[in-house]
């Protein structure tokens, strides 16, 4: 029996722009690591994982623009953990939130194509609106994911200037032409997004903790996922000075800053609302 081709969705960039305009730009991570499960009074097992994830999705799924589940925290439980992740993806999207799968996949050839099919093919159980990817086997290695994302109406977020200190030794390395590797990746993304309206579908991951980034051209006509808000030390008020003129395309990402307020759904909503209000004020 052959698979019936799914109809492509509207481009991710257009759907993201609409979601941010209607719900605010906040992205909430779903990171069920062992210590957070314990803080919620849950066991570090599949039942605890499922309870945690269901609570977050039910509490915030109708208000936040984007969920960012970290796949590693589900994969560590094997097939049962992946089943929880599959359910979360479907239920989050049913509530109107976009799902950005934080899997940071990166490989070459048929392997990269298989990763893309896992997360970006519309009839996949883990189909997500967007996927984080690593370009450090060369930007061209991402081509299978870029092509499938265009076909399915999904998006990508490419690691460019990440918030972890170790990233600088690779991302700020200087090439023979004098440009940094991060700048090269930003240039590729600008080319992917050329002419897209109202927003391109191919974004960059740029840490909100990095301070002045005026030496980098962040005007890629695509979204800029900004981890580091909350527990890592950055605040919404930092966004304008970090991102400059590109700040209105920023998707600030908060995980522990919201999740530590669980398991009470009302407390989770209140924490997310506070961050969203702070972001709106910072970007006004």
Cis, bond preceding 263 (omega within 30 deg of 0) = yes
The token duo for 145 is: 């994911």
What's the CA gap between 142 and 65, in Å, rounded? 26
Pick the catalytic residue: 18, 54, 95, 104?
104
Q: Hey, how many other C-beta atoms are within 10 angstroms of the C-beta on 241?
A: 13
For the question of residue 241 being annotated catalytic, the response is no
Tokens at residue 190, please? 């600008």
State the burial class of residue 188 (Cβ atoms within 10 Å of its Cβ: 0-12, 13-18, 19+): buried
The structure tokens listed for 226 are: 């900004």
Paired residues of 30 in beta bridges? 69
SS3 content of the chain, % helix, strand, coil (to 5): 50, 15, 35
Task: Name 255's Cβ contacts closer than 8 Å, sequence gap at least 6.
Answer: 28, 29, 30, 31, 68, 70, 230, 231
The neighbouring-strand residues paired with 159 are 205
The residue with tokens 């800053």 is: 257
Handedness of CA 212, 213, 218, 223 (dihedral sign): negative
Any idea which residues carry the catalytic annotation?
Answer: 104
């Amino acid at each position: 029996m052959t698979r019936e081709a799914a109809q492509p969705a509207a481009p991710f960039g257009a759907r993201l722009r609409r979601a941010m305009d209607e719900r605010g730009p906040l992205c909430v991570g779903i990171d069920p690591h062992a210590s957070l499960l314990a803080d919620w009074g849950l066991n570090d097992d599949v039942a605890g994982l499922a309870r945690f994830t269901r609570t977050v999705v039910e509490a915030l799924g109708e208000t936040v623009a984007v969920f960012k589940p970290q796949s590693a925290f589900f994969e560590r439980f094997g097939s049962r953990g992946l089943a929880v992740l599959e359910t979360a993806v479907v239920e989050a999207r049913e509530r109107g939130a976009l799902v950005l799968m934080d899997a940071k996949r990166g490989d070459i050839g048929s392997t990269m194509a298989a990763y893309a099919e896992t997360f970006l093919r519309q009839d996949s159980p883990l189909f997500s609106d967007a996927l984080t990817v690593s370009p450090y086997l060369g930007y061209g290695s991402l081509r299978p994911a870029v092509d499938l994302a265009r076909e399915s109406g999904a998006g990508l977020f490419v690691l460019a200037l990440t918030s972890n200190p170790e990233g600088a030794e690779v991302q700020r390395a200087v090439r023979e032409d004098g440009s940094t590797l991060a700048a090269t990746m930003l240039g590729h993304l600008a080319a992917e997004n050329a002419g897209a309206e109202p927003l391109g579908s191919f974004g960059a991951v740029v840490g909100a903790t990095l301070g002045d980034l005026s030496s980098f051209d962040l005007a890629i006509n695509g979204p800029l996922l900004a981890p580091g808000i909350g527990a890592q030390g950055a605040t919404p008020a930092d966004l304008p000075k970090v991102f400059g003129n590109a700040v209105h395309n920023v998707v600030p990402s908060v995980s522990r800053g919201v999740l530590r307020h669980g398991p009470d759904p009302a407390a989770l909503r209140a924490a997310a609302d506070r961050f969203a209000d702070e972001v709106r004020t910072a970007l006004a």
